[in-house]
Structure 1
Amino acid sequence: MIKKQLYLFLIITTLSVIQSFSQEEVTIKVADTLKSKSYEFNPLSPAKAAFYSAVLPGMGQAYNKKYWKIPIVYGALGTGVYFYVWNNDNYVKYQEAYKLRINGKPDDFDGLNGNPYLSEDTLISAQERFKSDRDLSLLITIGMYVLQIVEASVNAHLLQHNVDNNLSFRPKLIKNNVTNKSVFVGSINYNF
């Protein structure tokens, strides 16, 4: 019983002594060690970038200072326009040949003068195929146009967030030594 009282006395004495040492007022000044960049946010920036891209494709990307994306935008839209024009020209070519064939006049596919021979059914199916491809090219081109508008808006929105090397996501493919199979893992790192 005396040992318990002695231990209790020592614990209480130690705790009260620790409290009694704080009689001086100590002020601690903490300096900010993290350097934060001050960003000026423009809440209308995404809308402005989308508007610029809608007026002239690639202009929203230039507004976001992502100049390397402009050739990609024009390459995508140009490819869509090229395939639309090519499919439309072939559609018109086969349509005119079919109309001439129905009227009994010579056409580009009648088999005369070294021209290849195509039947009326082949001319009809070629028209349908080129018309379908033309319409698909138009839809893809419109989709690319809308996509570049959305990309400019999203990019302008994301430019307002502080993204630096202190926060990173690194996916890796590692080999599991036990099962001898590859495993896909990801790590999120935050450095102070």
Structure 2
Amino acid sequence: MLNKSLILSVFALLFCFSVVAQEKEKKTKRKKLPKEIVIDTVLTREPINPLSPAKAAFYSAILPGLGQAYNKKYWKIPLVYGALGTGIYFYSTNNKEYNRYRDAYKRRLAGFTDDEFYFDSNGNQLSSPRVTTQGLERGQKFYRRNKEISLLVTLGLYALNIIDANVDAHLLQYNVDENLSLAPHYRFNEFDAKSNVGLTLNLKF
């Protein structure tokens, strides 16, 4: 019993000394602190413009690449015109070939033998055409199909240009502030000795 009471009294004295020492430390720190005026900083954010995505999409619909310029993504403008230019080129080429085969086919049906396929590369008329009438039919189908595909691809690229401008305008106003964050967390449950994995949503005002 004596040993226990002695140990308790020693711990009590040490505890008192530590409390007194902490109080003295706090007082000395308070004395050493210089007198400064602390000003709270207020972070100002740019206001969100809900019409910005609609404007960017509208500008790109009027003139491809204009929405990208509105979003200040100037490096995308050559890509937009390169993609649309490629689609228009293939459409124009296939349309030209389709018209060639169609005109020659019409003259064959009318009984003429003077279409371009009745002549060689030097302009000499041949006894039999380089492309038969059945070949002209197949050529028309082939180039008409390619022309339609080229047109659909070009329209798709035009629509993609509008969507890209709209999405970019949305992302430019996306809030990536630390006050709003979504992060994974891992926690060990002490009650059932199992680990829990999940997502934590932090929202600070």
Bin of the TM-score, shorter chain as denominator length: 0.5 to 0.7
- For 2:117, which of 109, 117, 129 is the aligned residue? 109
- For 2:169, which of 156, 159, 164 is the aligned residue? 156
Give me the CA root mean square deviation.
Answer: 3.4
Structure-1 separation of matches of 2:136 and 2:51: 53
2:132 counterpart of 1:119: yes
Give the CA deviation at 1:36: 6.4
SS at match of 1:76: helix
**Amino acid of the structure 1 residue aligned with 2:85:** G
Structure-2 separation of matches of 1:31 and 1:114: 95
Once the two structures are superposed, residues 37-82 of structure 1 have per-residue CA deviations (whole angstroms, 9 ceiling, x without a partner) of: 7434322111110011111212112212233332322222122112
Once the two structures are superposed, residues 61-109 of structure 1 have per-residue CA deviations (whole angstroms, 9 ceiling, x without a partner) of: 2212233332322222122112111111111111221222233212222
2:94 counterpart of 1:87: yes
- For 2:82, which of 64, 75, 78 is the aligned residue? 75
Structure-2 separation of matches of 1:153 and 1:91: 37
Q: Which has the larger radius of gyration?
A: 2
Structure 2 gaps of 5+ residues are 177-205
Give the CA deviation at 1:117: 0.7
SS at match of 1:121: helix
- For 2:19, which of 1, 16, 19 is the aligned residue? 16
Structure 1 gaps of 5+ residues are 164-192
Structure-2 separation of matches of 1:29 and 1:114: 100
Once the two structures are superposed, residues 123-145 of structure 1 have per-residue CA deviations (whole angstroms, 9 ceiling, x without a partner) of: 22221111111111111101110
Alpha-carbon contact 1:111-1:118 (below 8 Å) kept: no
Q: How does 1:24-173 map to 2 (within 5 A)?
A: 38-106=45-113, 107-110=115-118, 113-114=124-125, 117-161=130-174
Query: Cα distance 1:19–1:53, how it changes in 2: closer, same or farther (>3 A)?
Result: same
TM-score normalised according to structure 2 size: 0.63
Query: Cα distance 1:129–1:18, how it changes in 2: closer, same or farther (>3 A)?
Result: farther
Percent of aligned pairs with the same residue?
Answer: 48
Alpha-carbon contact 1:57-1:148 (below 8 Å) kept: yes
